[in-house]
């Protein structure tokens, strides 16, 4: 049995979950509303203020779907009740970031500024303090969308292995390569 799939998802106060005939799971809470289409083979039920996900057989395909859909529903419940947050740090001389509504303008050492139009489900803040690297904070109820946007931002200037310059997640440990040793 899938260890993750077996665990029921507890529904906190203020969160409502509905499952319709087409296996569309809708989760509403104080932070927003999310929907997820579940495969027809996987059964989603609400029992005693908990969401239970079951599968029809022990086939490898069903086991994979079982754990995945349970995790997605759990992430939706956490997202609409608490929300998710990702912080990214711009490491490099002259790197800066500025948030203007749903637009994020960054200067990353290219000949032009990079402008990203963010989805409406994501809130962005850019904070710059003297003698510190600029920090971009992304907040959303949708964990999948948040991770996708954060990866897209990071891909503009990934941290390089020699000096560590680039866009990295706050708290991320980078493995730097050693320089060439002088020959004797």
| Domain stops at, among 81, 111, 138 | 81
Number of domains in the chain: 2
43 shares its domain with 117: no
Would residue 177 count as lying in a domain? no
96 shares its domain with 140: yes
Domain with residue 9: its CATH number is: 3.90.930.12
Would residue 184 count as lying in a domain? no
pLDDT in tens for each of the 184 residues of the chain?
458 889 999 999 999 999 999 999 999 999 999 999 999 999 999 999 999 999 999 999 999 999 999 999 999 999 999 999 999 999 999 999 999 999 999 999 999 999 999 999 999 999 999 999 999 999 999 999 999 999 999 999 999 988 889 999 999 998 888 877 766 6
73 shares its domain with 90: no
Domain that holds residue 150: 84-169
98 shares its domain with 155: yes
pLDDT tens figures, 39-79: 999 999 999 999 999 999 999 999 999 999 999 999 999 99
88 shares its domain with 158: yes
120 shares its domain with 163: yes
Residue 7 CA to residue 52 CA, distance in Å, equals 8
pTM for this prediction: 0.89
Question: Could you please report the per-residue DSSP string of the chain?
Answer: --HHHHSPEE--TT-EEEE-TT-EEEEEETTEEEEEEPPTTSEEEEETTEEEEE-SS--HHHHHHHHHHHHHHHHHHHHHHT-EEEEEEEESTT-EEEEETTEEEEE-SSSS-EEEE--TT-EEEEE--TTS--EEEEEES-HHHHHHHHHHHHHHSPPPTTT--EEEETTPPP-PPPPPPPP-
């Amino acid at each position: 049995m899938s260890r993750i799939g077996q665990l029921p998802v507890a529904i906190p106060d203020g969160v409502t979950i509905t499952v319709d005939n087409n296996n569309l799971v809708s989760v509403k809470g104080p932070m927003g509303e999310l929907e997820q289409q579940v495969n027809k083979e996987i059964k989603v039920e609400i029992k005693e203020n908990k969401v239970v996900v079951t599968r029809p057989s022990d086939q490898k395909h069903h086991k994979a779907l079982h754990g995945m859909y349970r995790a997605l529903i759990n992430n939706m419940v956490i997202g609409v009740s608490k929300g998710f947050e990702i912080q990214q740090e711009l490491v490099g001389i002259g790197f800066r970031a500025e948030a203007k509504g749903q637009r994020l303008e960054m200067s990353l050492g290219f000949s032009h500024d990079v402008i990203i139009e963010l989805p409406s489900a994501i809130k962005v803040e850019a904070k710059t303090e003297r003698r510190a690297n600029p920090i971009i904070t992304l907040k959303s109820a949708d964990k999948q969308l948040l991770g996708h946007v954060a990866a897209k931002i990071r891909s503009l200037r990934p941290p390089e292995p020699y000096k560590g310059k680039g866009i990295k997640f706050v708290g991320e440990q980078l493995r730097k390569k050693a320089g060439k040793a002088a020959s004797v």
